Structure 1
Amino acid sequence: MKVRRVGADEERDDAGQPGTAVTPSAEFPPLAAEERAALGRIGERWAGPQPAELPVDPTLGRHRGGPAPSRFGRLAPIEMFTVEQPGELVATAPAHLPGNRVGRAAGRLRRALFGPPLASAAVLYERMRKLVALPILSSDLLSSVAYGPEAMLTVLVLAGGAALGLALPLAALLVVLMIAVGLSYRQTIPAYPHGAGSYIVAGDNLGRTAGLAAAAGLMLDYVLTVSVSVAAGVHAVTSALPALTPATVGLGVLVIAVLLAGNLRGVRTAGNIFVLPTYAFVVVVLAVLVVGYARAAGRGFAPVPPPAVPAAEGLGLLLVLRAFSSGAVSMTGIEAVSNATPAFRPPEWRNARTTLGWMVALLVVLFAGLVGLIHLDGLVPRPGETLLSQLGRVTFPTGPWYALLQASTALILLLAANTAFNDFPRLLYFMARDGHAPRRFLHMGDRLAFSNGLVALAGTAALVFVVFGGHTEALIPLYAVGVFLAFTLSQSGMVVHWRRHRGRGWRGRLLLNALGAVLSGLVLLTAAVAKFAEGAWVVVVAVPLLVLLFRRIHRHYATLHRALALHPPPAGPAGPAPPAGSAEAEAEELPQQVRHLVIVPVARLNRASLRALAYAASLGRPTLAVHIAPEEAEAQRFRAQWSAWGDHLRLETVVSPYRSVVGPLAHYLEALHATRPELTLTVIVPEVVLRRRRHRLLHSRIEQRLRSALGALPGVVVTSVPVHVAE
């Protein structure tokens, strides 16, 4: 089990070693060494009452090895527990809230949609083998060849048909970049085998700010991966079926919802859903390349002259760089394997590295092959139909192959977002463990998936998709900046890593990572400058804002950690009275340090208030009843009723001529606490619990308002004594 110490730069387990495994226990980190020592010293001074014999059997009458609950065990709650070892019960099945019909109905619906819950131990089996991991993690990378070459040629064609000849040298340079970055990430995997890729590599070697910048870039990349992939997939569908064009936005949002539902079913189930489309796309595109190059060989590889295209811009260095950076979006997703290494079966790093090698090889073959074939067939981008669609019509003028190409392209583009659904929640998990993201992202759902991260990704991506109207061209300028920021920081971090850890062959590894950093940095700079006015400014502005947000979250958790961390108790049994409102006012850790005053707010003498008064008196502590009256006459009537009851407890009435109840009571308690700050005020609130939700509209629910107001006061403990109304 791991522990994360907020304010530190790494996690350590109980043995003092870095803790990195992805486990459901991350939500409950153990204590640091100094806190465990403080806990022991607090325990030595514990002077509370001796524990009495319990009035119930805490094992619920079960014994280890007893009969297992039947299939109808849910009807008897006691049957859902077994004794695993002394002092430990194990729930044999997930439980719903007692008596909560809405919760039971929601549970049945969730089980129908996402499958039955998985036990925590099953996390070891929710891993991917290589043949499944390849299509799941490469769908984003391989699908980008459906729009990456077109993005590059769309920029080049602005300078006229003659500029299309630059596509081949630019593609060759991009292939070099793909291989360099791919080999660099192959080195990252064994060096950092526990996932989170660029975030951990940059943070470990370049500092926390660099790590957070890489995380921000990756998060933007994953959100845009979903938006761009779905937009491109819908475009492929509307290219084949133009009648669906008006429904572009609705189709895209529907696809994102389906992806979310599939991934909420867990890693293995999602993998089984998304395996076939990726392999089908690879096979069909390879068939296009084989047939296309065979036809080109029949004419001696003589390129078909492209149609005349008038120049809209002059051919200059800036336009060439823009085309290069646009084509570089074909590399998005190359980091997916290094981020998801813990999701592989053991040995994780070796299987991940092998899978990444296959991915890069397929990417190079498909990208280079498509650019070359487009050049040989003399195709140019045109509105209303993708280049891959044009290539399919030329290569397969008859037969079902064109339809298969379009169907597989649409499927992989729509499902390419699944790569982001694998990596985005995992990145948030590591960030939350470090205190840079909300801790809710540590939680694993029923199917051992990071449900909160999945929902956050789907919601954000759907919002971006709707805002941009589902247009791929409008999203791609935002796409390259974030992903190449992460590439650059990751590779630069690996350069520092090899300089620190000079092992065997470190110089060659350093040079390879340096090459990847330089090439990625050039693409980043080019994309940021050349596409700044086209929308890249959004990412340039968003990354620093996200880094600032992550730091603020970390500052909050660091403050919370300091407030809740265990410290050795003071020398005296109680110590001097702390100032009112200070953190020390709630620092009692020993029974002998706690001095009680029990307060019961009473609106009227009925069964609810009398039960709360009885409960308070049973505690055997000094007890005060407080009544808020709107006028003096009502205060006198209540005191008369109190006397009729027997005046068993001290009563204080507060007249509120402006008829406010919560405010005067809160201020009164605050004044009591200021007078004796060493006192712990235990406020016992009588509360009527209604069975039906619709009946709540008929009541003021002043108990809830009172609990909310008193909860903000230091040194005040609020509890409630419920009275349940059957109807």
Structure 2
Amino acid sequence: MTQESAARPPDPSDPLPDLTPDQLETLHQVGDQWSRVTRPPREWRDALPVDPNVGSYPARHQIHPPRYERFVTVSELGDEKRASEVSRVRALSSSSTSPLGSRVRRVLLGPALKSTALVRERMRKLVALPVLSSDALSSVAYGPEAMITILVIAGVAGLALSLPIALAVMLLMLAVGLSYRQTIRAYPNGGGSYIVTSDNLGRVPGLVAAGGLMVDYVLTVAVSIAAGVAAITSAVPSLSGSAVPLGLGAIALLLAGNLRGIRQAGLIFAAPTYLFVVCVGSMIVVGLVESARQGFPAPTPPQVNATTGVTLFLIMRAFSSGATAMTDIEAISNAVPAFKPVEWRNARTSLTWMVSMLLALFGGIMALVLLTGTLPKPHETVLSQLGQHTFGPGVMYTLLQASTAGILLLAANTAYNDFPRVLSLLARDHHAPRPFMRMGDRLAYSNGILLLTVSAALIFVAFGGQTNALIPLYAVGVFLAFTLSQSGMVVHWWRARTRHWRKSLAFNAAGAAMCAVVFVTAAIAKFTAGAWVALLAVVVFVVLALRIRVHYDRVGRALRLHPHTASLPGNTPPAPLCPPDRVPPGPERSERGTDRDGTEAEAEETPEEIHHLSVVAVETLDLANIRALAYAASLQQPVLAVHLSPTDEEAERMTRYWRHWGNHLPLEVVVCPYRTIIAPLVDYVGALHEQRPDLTITVILPELVPAHRRHRLLHDRMAFRLRHALRERPKIVVTSVPFHV
């Protein structure tokens, strides 16, 4: 995998990749074989009983959004006159997809967004910072406490190491933060752990890094929700028996917010993050000022009983526990394409802000802990004790607790932004099912969001929503990804040797070494407590991803064009049909063509009364699509190929490939700016049917039929969905040409 292809984010034109010179030559050879066994292209075009150009979707300046400029609705093909004439067809189309469910979905999630709205749906820095930093910033609420909890078992001697270990954790934060700034510079199109590791260390290490991230993202949602619910139930004990329903409700809220799209989720989740930063920052400033006024008095020595001695293993455990305060620090480098232009520059600025705030909050909390001698208590967090000591009971303390609970609940939003994005990159590289590569009509990776929600909800319920039960599984995967990513950057700088490469290499090498220490320590210390589950999940993920790649590679080889294996039609002329302007309007037609209510009647009773048109939906020119075209041409009926393109660039590319093949059959390319495929195809077929209501239109689709049932989940069920959408329309037949792999 080259750096350019690895760093490039998924694009709407990915389903139609550029053909290599060898593939173009093969396509030309297949076209030559067609030219020897079928009629000239002009005869096929002249035989069409309809005009294939039925109109286009409205241009950008013609769109009148209902509420905001970025919102558009899916309109019919053609002009306003046709839209009014086919209101009944639109109603039928809506009924095939459950009008009530569609209406509720639009109310909750908003109207569909046009492809060009992707640029306007990107985040500015003030929105991206809370969206992508909520998990890392919220971890200061439990990171310092986790470190002190380990040291307190060694008594006063262990607590005396709090300052140097805290400084080591802050040094790790700084080193990792600077190293990810180098990652953004080297991969300006987005380069998280998966991309960097795959590009520099190879496919399997890249999948290991991706597995660590995926496991960590799922656990991030479960742990953050569990911690937030614990904060709520601590403040309101009467809700302690409803922890699981409260957590599932919070996950459902996150699901709805993220399905609305990046920008909407950012606006929803920005305020709680900023409120938390302001409250904790105010507590640190007030506490330090008050301590300075008193001359920084020495705290009262704590009365603790040591249960173990100070050992190297204890120090490493405390260091790894404190390092949980920097989980998901790489989120910004993963989501560079989500920023407004200039993307990489805004991402680096946001990363600098995040690391600066993380250092300030973590260092400030540790300073207050050391100045006040605060120790963990069974039923009260360290942050709560510091708030009581600084503000006393009152409005500020209540606001601090509320903001802490809020950011812990919303910290899971970082995972919701990055999990679907990483999954889409895996799908682009054929390591995950292709549906995860597709954006929904709200410009969000809806399938990935749904998978994350279901996985996190199952884990949350399985562990009863208990934070203590989930923590041992946490952070192992992310530090595995950190270690591999930083190691990959070391290899990158060694190969590239660009300006200041030695300094960059040193930063990444230091970050890799420190992250490796945290990973090994956490894996060993927490192995029996549950870390083995996370490690096993990573192994299972890697094996599954490799097996998926094997399947897609086998399908790709099976679909590759070969001059002697491509299907060819017989030497069959198109059946003669009456052109649309010479359709005889007799009384028999008017009587048998409509029912009393004005709907079209299917009254053909003899074969000669049936007139055909075959419409072949073509995605790309591979063996399966060529076979579908050959099948349609062999029926001795007029054939029209239709290709839906999300962009003008893909439309031009498809037209160029079609001409290179030989332009044997008529092709109509429809530029559809919407994320759905079924609705525009149904609309197009309906427009053809309006021209010639007497025609029986057969929609022909190539359909991959895997040998094993389990592989069907890796492919779109387009034929089933289209058949379901068209079943309410008269005189339209949907058939599929199976291609067994």
TM-score by length of 2: 0.73
**How many Å separate the matches in 2 of 1:273 and 1:460?**
23
Q: 1:615 to 1:438 in 2, by over 3 A?
A: farther
Question: What is aligned with 2:8?
Answer: 20
1:214 Cα shift? Answer: 0.4
1:438 Cα shift? Answer: 0.8
Question: What is aligned with 2:460?
Answer: 465
For the pair 1:54 / 2:32, whether they are aligned, the reply is: no
1:614 Cα shift? Answer: 4.2
Q: 1:380 to 1:442 in 2, by over 3 A?
A: same
Question: What is aligned with 1:390?
Answer: 385
For the pair 1:35 / 2:29, whether they are aligned, the reply is: no
For the pair 1:45 / 2:33, whether they are aligned, the reply is: yes
Q: 1:615 to 1:389 in 2, by over 3 A?
A: farther
**Deviation readout 1:474-509 (Å, 9 max, x if unpaired):** 222221210101110000000000111011111111
> Residue 237 of structure 2: which of 242, 248, 256 is its match?
242
Q: 1:460 to 1:63 in 2, by over 3 A?
A: closer
What letter corresponds to residue 48 of structure 2 in structure 1? Answer: L
Secondary structure of residue in 1 paired with 2:474 = helix
Identity percentage over the alignment?
Answer: 53
Q: 1:534 to 1:118 in 2, by over 3 A?
A: same
Secondary structure of residue in 1 paired with 2:78 = strand
Q: 1:681 to 1:330 in 2, by over 3 A?
A: same
**How many Å separate the matches in 2 of 1:513 and 1:63?**
49
Secondary structure of residue in 2 paired with 1:352 = helix
- Correspondence list, 1:697-716, <5 A: none
> Residue 281 of structure 2: which of 282, 286, 300 is its match?
286
For the pair 1:339 / 2:334, whether they are aligned, the reply is: yes
**Deviation readout 1:154-193 (Å, 9 max, x if unpaired):** 2222223542222111100001100001000000001012
**How many Å separate the matches in 2 of 1:136 and 1:143?**
12
- Correspondence list, 1:149-548, <5 A: 149-305=144-300, 307-548=302-543
Q: 1:63 to 1:399 in 2, by over 3 A?
A: closer
1:79 Cα shift? Answer: 7.2
Q: 1:60 to 1:457 in 2, by over 3 A?
A: same
**How many Å separate the matches in 2 of 1:713 and 1:611?**
39
Q: 1:722 to 1:146 in 2, by over 3 A?
A: closer
**Deviation readout 1:71-104 (Å, 9 max, x if unpaired):** 99xxxx99711389xxxxxx99x97862625522
Report if the CA contact (8 A) 2:7-2:190 is conserved: no
**How many Å separate the matches in 2 of 1:612 and 1:499?**
76
- Correspondence list, 1:47-126, <5 A: 47=35, 48-49=38-39, 50-51=43-44, 52-60=46-54, 80-82=76-78, 98=93, 100=95, 102-126=97-121
1:209 Cα shift? Answer: 0.6
Report if the CA contact (8 A) 1:196-1:427 is conserved: no
**How many Å separate the matches in 2 of 1:539 and 1:100?**
45
Report if the CA contact (8 A) 1:96-1:107 is conserved: no
**How many Å separate the matches in 1 of 2:116 and 2:58?**
20
**How many Å separate the matches in 1 of 2:119 and 2:75?**
27
Question: What is aligned with 1:675?
Answer: none
Of 418-427 and 473-482, more deviation after overlay is shown by: 473-482
**How many Å separate the matches in 2 of 1:563 and 1:237?**
56
**How many Å separate the matches in 2 of 1:111 and 1:491?**
43
1:710 Cα shift? Answer: 13
Q: 1:70 to 1:305 in 2, by over 3 A?
A: closer
**Deviation readout 1:34-58 (Å, 9 max, x if unpaired):** 3233222222332323303321222
Report if the CA contact (8 A) 1:69-1:79 is conserved: no
Of 390-399 and 546-555, more deviation after overlay is shown by: 390-399
What letter corresponds to residue 124 of structure 1 in structure 2? Answer: V
**Deviation readout 1:346-370 (Å, 9 max, x if unpaired):** 1111110111011101101100110
Measured on the aligned residues, the alpha-carbon RMSD in Å equals 3.8
Report if the CA contact (8 A) 1:59-1:83 is conserved: no
Q: 1:384 to 1:174 in 2, by over 3 A?
A: same
Report if the CA contact (8 A) 2:6-2:199 is conserved: no
**How many Å separate the matches in 2 of 1:481 and 1:615?**
71
Of 231-240 and 477-486, more deviation after overlay is shown by: 231-240
**How many Å separate the matches in 1 of 2:435 and 2:60?**
36
1:125 Cα shift? Answer: 1.2
**Deviation readout 1:428-448 (Å, 9 max, x if unpaired):** 111100001111111111210
**How many Å separate the matches in 1 of 2:119 and 2:146?**
41
**How many Å separate the matches in 1 of 2:63 and 2:199?**
49
For the pair 1:591 / 2:569, whether they are aligned, the reply is: yes
Report if the CA contact (8 A) 1:147-1:232 is conserved: no
Secondary structure of residue in 2 paired with 1:46 = helix
Q: 1:711 to 1:357 in 2, by over 3 A?
A: closer
**How many Å separate the matches in 1 of 2:165 and 2:503?**
26
1:30 Cα shift? Answer: 4.2
Secondary structure of residue in 1 paired with 2:17 = coil
Report if the CA contact (8 A) 2:243-2:465 is conserved: yes
Question: What is aligned with 1:147?
Answer: 142
Secondary structure of residue in 2 paired with 1:379 = coil
- Correspondence list, 1:131-142, <5 A: 131-142=126-137
Q: 1:250 to 1:562 in 2, by over 3 A?
A: same
TM-score by length of 1: 0.74
Secondary structure of residue in 1 paired with 2:98 = helix
Unaligned runs of 5+ in 2: 67-72, 81-85, 573-602, 614-630, 636-700, 709-718, 732-741
Report if the CA contact (8 A) 1:22-1:342 is conserved: no
**How many Å separate the matches in 2 of 1:616 and 1:377?**
93
1:552 Cα shift? Answer: 0.4
Secondary structure of residue in 1 paired with 2:384 = helix
Larger Rg: 1
**Deviation readout 1:625-677 (Å, 9 max, x if unpaired):** xxxxxxxxxxxxxxxxxxxxxxxxxxxxxxxxxxxxxxxxxxxxxxxxxxxxx
**How many Å separate the matches in 1 of 2:288 and 2:506?**
36
1:246 Cα shift? Answer: 1.5
Report if the CA contact (8 A) 1:491-1:517 is conserved: yes
Unaligned runs of 5+ in 1: 1-8, 85-90, 571-583, 595-609, 621-677, 683-706
**How many Å separate the matches in 1 of 2:514 and 2:57?**
65
Of 221-230 and 18-27, more deviation after overlay is shown by: 18-27
1:298 Cα shift? Answer: 3.0
Secondary structure of residue in 1 paired with 2:304 = coil
Q: 1:713 to 1:177 in 2, by over 3 A?
A: closer
Give the structure, 1 or 2, with the largest relative contact order (CA under 8 Å, sep 6 or more): 2
1:403 Cα shift? Answer: 0.2
1:10 Cα shift? Answer: 4.7
1:725 Cα shift? Answer: 11
Q: 1:618 to 1:128 in 2, by over 3 A?
A: closer
**How many Å separate the matches in 1 of 2:60 and 2:243?**
58
Q: 1:496 to 1:253 in 2, by over 3 A?
A: same
What letter corresponds to residue 109 of structure 1 in structure 2? Answer: V
Q: 1:294 to 1:549 in 2, by over 3 A?
A: same
**How many Å separate the matches in 1 of 2:57 and 2:476?**
60
Q: 1:515 to 1:106 in 2, by over 3 A?
A: same
**How many Å separate the matches in 1 of 2:22 and 2:55?**
39
Q: 1:615 to 1:395 in 2, by over 3 A?
A: farther
1:237 Cα shift? Answer: 1.5
**How many Å separate the matches in 2 of 1:236 and 1:184?**
34
